[in-house]
Amino acid sequence: QVQLVESGGGLVQPGGSLRLSCAASGIIFSMYFMRWYRQAPGKQRELVAHISNGGVNTNYPDSVKGRFTISRDSAKNTVYLQMNSLKPEDTAIYYCNAIKIVGGDHYWGQGTQVTVSS
């Protein structure tokens, strides 16, 4: 059974930082790209970070580039999202996503709420 379990969300003031974690089980971690998405109320889900299966390549949209950093630890089957200089517009539910590099099978976590507010 595949499970992606996110943690680390919460309430933070503007300018603050949070680190999200996503622990994967039931998959061969090295065979999956890993991504973080977010969805704010009334908005579409958007991609905020991508990391290749080997961890060498990362991609970010302009809205978070320079503030967010995605990384992965193959020993722990975990992907992280370090979020710095947070803004109120970063408020959303953040979801972890795993995409198999061959075949395209994909899985989602349950999401973790991030609220940026003073």
Structure confidence at residue 92 (pLDDT) = 98
Structure confidence at residue 64 (pLDDT) = 98
11-32 average pLDDT score: 97
Distance CA 21, CA 80 (A): 5
Percent helix, percent strand, percent coil in the chain, to nearest 5: 5, 50, 45
47-73 average pLDDT score: 97
Structure confidence at residue 42 (pLDDT) = 94
- On average, the pLDDT of the chain sits at 97
Tokens of 65: 């580039």
CB 44, CB 109: distance < 8 Å = no
61-72 average pLDDT score: 98
SS3 9: coil
